[in-house]
Amino acid sequence: MPTTTVARVRPDDWRDLRDVRLRALADAPSAFGSTLAREVAFPDDVWRERAAQGRTLLARQVPDGGAAAGRDRSPGAVVGIATVVPSPDDPTAADLVSVWVDPAARGGGVAAALLRSADALAAELGARTLALWVTATNTPARTLYERAGFAATGETKPLPSDPRLVEVRMTRPVRG
């Protein structure tokens, strides 16, 4: 089984950030508020700026016996992404956005590792609550979030990239 590491994006990781984000948008267009067509057109400066913010987490995998142990950055392939941002509406909350795991890496603990790291980042930002929006029809993601302690709040809204779809808000306390 491969070893998974999760680390915050650094400015020099902007190409990895761009590549995994575009893969995510191509793989699961109904899971995101943006579109592949919109983001593929972004100039490199947008990706550099996003990477410089340091709020995105990348999950990487190396095969067993790989050289990840003891390093601060795995040389492995990027297989997942998540971003944590302070809530614009509540100074005690952080929003978890852009969560995605490569289909070939699903079921191997990558999402759980991303959620643990996202929780730690939310605590670092001073949040007491971690919130997210998930498409109502995305049963695998909703199940993952429920297993991780998130609960639906009853709030819904149209998905910005496809208003025919509904998003459900879920929250949980930050565990830090």
Torsion, Cα 166 162 129 21, to 10 degrees, reads 140
**69: in domain:** no
**143: in domain:** no
Q: What is the CATH number of the domain that holds 89?
A: 3.40.630.30
Residues 101 and 111: beta-carbon distance below 8 Å? yes
The 8-class DSSP code of residue 22 comes to H
Number of domains in the chain: 1
pLDDT in tens, 34-58: 999 999 999 999 999 999 999 999 9
Q: 107: domain range?
A: 3-64+77-129
Give the per-residue pLDDT at 70: 45
- Single-letter residue type at 38: R
**157: in domain:** no
Residues 132 and 31: beta-carbon distance below 8 Å? no
pLDDT in tens, 57-109: 999 998 775 554 444 555 789 999 999 999 998 999 999 999 999 999 999 99
Residues 169 and 152: beta-carbon distance below 8 Å? yes
Phi/psi region, residue 65 (left: phi>0; alpha: psi -120 to 50; beta: rest), is: left
**113: in domain:** yes
Global pTM reads 0.91
Give the per-residue pLDDT at 172: 98
The pLDDT confidence band at residue 117, using thresholds 50, 70 and 90, is very high
**56: in domain:** yes
**168: in domain:** no
**136: in domain:** no
